[in-house]
Amino acid sequence: MPRRRIRVPRPDRPGICNWPESERPREKLLEQGAQVLSDGELVAILLGSGTKGCSAVDMARSLIVEFGSLREMLSADKQRWEGIRGIGPARYAMLMAALEISSRFILAPLREVPTLSTPDTTRQFLFLDNRHRMLGFEELFKGTIDGATVHPREIVRRSLQYNAASIIAAHNHPSGSIEPSLADEGLTQRLREALSLIDVRLVDHFIVGDGKCYSFSEHGLL
């Protein structure tokens, strides 16, 4: 398979090690904090170095442009990364490890919450006992960028295994929009009906977008 090449402008300045300290991503992070760095600069720190004639920052920026955005880059499957010049198995593994660390960091507080009584404290798939204490958290289904197949029977099966009295469901919209589709509304009703047959209550269903959540319960749809 021919290797794909990402076209990047040949830099007109020396390598990053010769840049002023105020412009070097790693030094900027240590001095000012990670929040001041651009997406490209953050990815450049993970890459560590660039390729001949292309700095790590240039390479990182070009990767983001190639995939369309930072989110699309990090959520792309392994096949899309194959053949990209300068990205071998080691760098791909490093990027995926960084993504997983971020995910686990964000989810850790949810696993430690003893009681989930409001929408603000329950924004993921959760299995609860009759006091709304969390029994478990699982990602049951994965989809593509424009859809996913969800089987209510699998959620029913897992609810029985946990001996759950109620559950809260959530799914994300890669587009960033949190407005429910007709399919989302239909799934919510089917899931509620399926769970009711085993006396398990669907407490809420959340749609997660760009830093926002839509609650079916808060909008009177449950």
Write the pLDDT tens digit of every residue in 103-116: 788 666 655 544 55
Mean pLDDT (the chain, rounded)? 80
Per-residue pLDDT, 53: 78
Q: How many domains does the chain have?
A: 2
Q: Up-side HSE of residue 172: CA atoms within 13 Å toward CB? A: 17
Does 9 score more than 50 pLDDT?
no
Domain boundary among 83, 105, 127: 105
Per-residue pLDDT, 124: 44
Same domain flag for 161 and 210 = yes
Same domain flag for 118 and 98 = no
Same domain flag for 152 and 208 = yes
Percentage above 90 pLDDT, the chain = 22
Per-residue pLDDT, 2: 52
Least confident of 10-19, 71-80, 132-141, 147-156: 10-19
Same domain flag for 90 and 121 = no
Q: How confident is the model at residue 11 (pLDDT cuts 50, 70, 90)?
A: very low
Contacts of 124 (CB under 8 A, 6+ apart): 107, 110, 137, 168, 170, 206
Residue bearing the bigger pLDDT, 187 or 209: 187
Q: Is residue 2 part of a domain?
A: no
What is the greatest pairwise CA distance in the chain? 68
207, 173 contact by CB (below 8 A): yes
Residue bearing the bigger pLDDT, 129 or 101: 101
Distance of CA 31 to CAs 15, 17, 28, 37, 46, Å? Answer: 20, 16, 5, 11, 17
Does 24 score more than 80 pLDDT?
yes
Residue owning tokens 């402008």: 9
Residues 47-95 pLDDT 10s:
888 777 788 888 899 999 988 888 888 888 888 888 888 888 899 999 9
Per-residue pLDDT, 64: 92
Residues 147-176 pLDDT 10s:
678 889 999 998 998 888 898 888 888 888
Q: Is residue 208 part of a domain?
A: yes
Q: Is residue 129 part of a domain?
A: yes
Residue bearing the bigger pLDDT, 11 or 150: 150
Domain containing residue 209: 113-215
Burial of 221 (0-12, 13-18, 19+ CB in 10 A): middle
Same domain flag for 117 and 204 = yes
Assign 215 to helix, strand or coil: strand
Domain boundary among 105, 121, 156: 105
Per-residue pLDDT, 5: 52
Same domain flag for 93 and 117 = no
Q: Is residue 222 part of a domain?
A: no
Q: Is 148 left (phi over 0), alpha (psi -120 to 50) or beta?
A: beta
Domain boundary among 105, 121, 154: 105
